[in-house]
Chain A
Amino acid sequence: MTDKLKKLTDYKVGSCCEVVDYVDDKNTEEDIMAVQKIREFGFVKGAKVTIQHIAPFGSDPIAAEVRGSLIALRRIDAERIYVKDCPQKT
């Protein structure tokens, strides 16, 4: 099921997505802490994320808006987040 989900890094500037889950195939302490930190910055399950900017050199890091704040994170961390398209407003 999870391998059908896209990662945050698959989305382009201006697009909106919703956090679904986190990559957990690696289990080093570093990875666990990284995901914990990502969550504490607001990327919790169900949070709406809008990609706002991509850095000029090497397209890294990216800046995404979540919970009203603009957060910058490196691709290596953004890749830990599984997302799906934002539910369309009716």
Chain B
Amino acid sequence: MTQLSILLAGSPNSGKSTLFNTLTGSKQKVANYPGVTVEKKTGRFTTPKGKEVEVLDLPGIYSLTPYSLDEEIAHKRLTNPQKDLVVAVTDATHLERSLAFVLEIKQLKKPIVLVLNMSDLAYNKRILIDVAKLQESLGVPVVQTNATHSKGVEDLVRAIDQLDLEQHQQKADSTEVKKLSPEQRFQKVDTILAKCIKKPTNAEVVSQKIDRVLLHPILGGLFFAVFIFGIFQAIFTFAEAPMNLIESSVAFVGEFVRNFIPDGFVQSFIVDGIIAGVGAVLVFLPQILILFFFIFLMESTGYMARAAFIMDKMMSLIGLQGRAFVPLLSSFACAIPGIMATRTIKNPKERLTTILIAPLMTCSARLPVYILLIGAFIPNTKIWGFINIQGLVMAGLFVFAIITAIIVAFVMRKTTLKGRKSSFIMELPAYKIPNMRHLFLNLWHRTKNFIKKAGGFIMWVSITLWFLSTFPQPPQDWDQPAINYSIAGRVGHFIEPVFEPLGFDWRISTGLIPGFAAREVMVSALATVFALDDTLGEEQQTKTLTEKLQSTWSLGTGLALLVWYIFAPQCLATFVVAKKETGGWKWPIFMFTYMFALAYIGAFITYQVVQMF
């Protein structure tokens, strides 16, 4: 059982990841490189001869010169004296560029196998490659593959099997390789290409034709807007049914358990603690799945690069770059998948800034609270004859949040997260038909990861919050709402003075505690606090709740709570995901702090100003 370590190196568009997937199948693991937020993908497979191979999929890079974190990591690993085999993956249809990279890798003194990936595409484009001559010119074994089919990878596995690593290592050690400048490298590449490859003059016609529309100054922008709007709508609408299904399934299971276990702590613990906690995690799945489906689709077809190209200027005005657009837009549906989507941003500071402002995008969970408060405190009248004030305020909340996010990003990039704007040079790869099987495989891995990492934590905190809101239970003769007797209730009363300047009473400060778990929980928390009869239907509850709010709170309090909600860090899952994506608690805590500060100041100003009239 010989162990072999393989490093998969190549550019982002070489089909390297597909090759990795085909080689390792389900036997892969995604972690983070220690201390940084770059993904480390490892996997394993066994060759027919019984060799156990461990594969490390290095970040996709164009050259070894470390301009970015990705390149630094790849460079570090490739210069590590460990005995590895480097499998250099290239796009056979674009060897003008990838061979230059291979020449760079040759300097590293590790044995190399050159993979000409997408060789089926090259064949279709009538690109003829003399593999033997190429092997001779480069001095390394060359294998043609089509990574999308396992058959297409058999040759590679066979070649790896038959490789005498010792011999190749010796050869690599003894070969003198000069460090070449880019010009010299490309010159050498051109010489080799002239000998080994015959390429018809215009091999890229289809892609160019598509770009004539998709990158057209007007049509392209239009297509982009429609496409992005479509994604946004899809997340909003297609997730709704599954989310309702998940919620009612959770409720169903809860009811089922209620019938078996008698009333009491155990029942409450299982139903309101565990089952509700699990539900709180699962309910995000539909949105995550939909968003990532579209992101993977955009990446694998090559459209993502075009999207980043179109949006880059607007994003760079606030210190971000084109790729920040998709995560931020998705955050309007839910910041959880939005923050996860920031992985496509390579520059760590830009990625952090994007993660920090993502929760400011008015997410769908805020809507129930907005609707409740606007319904209770904003008059349902029209101004100028046709503009409904309630709708206007709703739109205003959205806009206000976006403007704040822009300011926060701008400030962050000029201060704490100040950094040079990453040189935005990027290849716009030729369009490709995506491999749907691999797309869903990736989707599966991403979801599994989410449930494992974020799920556990969220569930435990939900259980804790349930505990705090339920215990201790009030005695029989307690005539106030039950929650007042619990720990959460007592804490709520205790911290009331802190929120007094905002016009918040004990009900709000108590409701904020379970409401910390998720924004929409605030509505049911308020219902509990106002001791509403929970056998009433949701609609009836909202009506009654609205009336109670109007009679108990002043306009100032209502509006202050509304403003609080624009900024307040009231989504536990956001922080858990932010912790996972930033590799520590430092930034989630910072996020919590600045959002809390914005919420407090905003609500304070609102309340005080309204009170003056």
Contact = CB atoms under 8 A, between A and B. Distances in A.
B215 A53 contact: yes
A63 B313 contact: no
SS class, residues of chain A in contact with chain B: mixed
Interface of B: 62-63, 65, 67, 94, 96-97, 100, 181-183, 186, 203-204, 207-208, 211, 215, 217-218, 220-221, 305, 309-314, 316, 420, 423-430
Nearest to B420: A30
List 7 tightest A-B contacts by C-beta distance, closest first. Answer: A58-B313, A39-B182, A70-B428, A53-B215, A56-B221, A67-B96, A68-B96
Given A37-B65, A39-B182, A45-B183, A69 B97 contact: yes
B96 A55 contact: no
Contact of B211 (A40, A41, A52): A52
A44 interface: yes
Contacts of A38: 425
Given A67-B96, A72-B424, 17 more contacts: A37-B65, A41-B97, A42-B186, A46-B183, A52-B211, A53-B215, A56-B310, A57-B313, A60-B316, A63-B215, A67-B97, A68-B204, A70-B428, A71-B428, A72-B428, A73-B426, A74-B424
Contacts of B186: 42, 44, 47, 67
Contacts of A70: 207, 211, 427-430
A77 interface: yes
A33 B423 contact: yes
A69 B312 CA distance: 20
B321 to A, nearest CB: 9
Contacts of B314: 57-58
Contacts of A61: 309, 312-313, 424
6 contacts: A37-B63, A37-B423, A53-B215, A63-B215, A71-B425, A73-B424
Contacts of B425: 37-38, 41, 71-74, 77
A80 B536 CA distance: 69
Contacts of B215: 52-53, 63
A37 B183 CA distance: 12
Contacts of A77: 423-425
Nearest to B222: A56
A40 B309 contact: no
B96 A69 contact: yes
B423 A60 contact: no
Nearest to A46: B183
A60 B314 CA distance: 9
Interface string A48-90: 0000111111101101000111111110010000000000000
Contacts of A15: none
A57 B310 contact: yes
A55 B427 contact: no
Contacts of B183: 39, 44-46
Interface residues of A, number: 33
A73 B220 CA distance: 18
Nearest to A61: B312
A76 to B, nearest CB: 8
A5 interface: no
Most chain B beta carbons < 10 A, residue from A30, A39, A56? A56
A4 B42 CA distance: 53
A69 B423 contact: no
B62 A40 contact: yes
Q: Which of A34, A39, A52, A57 has the most CB of B within 10 A?
A: A57
B309 A63 contact: yes
B424 A40 contact: no
A36 B66 CA distance: 11
B427 A69 contact: yes
Contacts of B312: 55, 60-61, 72, 74
A63 B220 CA distance: 14
Contacts of A45: 183
Nearest to B424: A74
Contacts of B429: 70
Nearest to B64: A40
A59 to B, nearest CB: 8
B97 A44 contact: no
A15 to B, nearest CB: 16
A55 B428 contact: no
Contacts of A36: 65, 182
Contacts of A40: 62-63, 65, 100, 182
B161 to A, nearest CB: 33
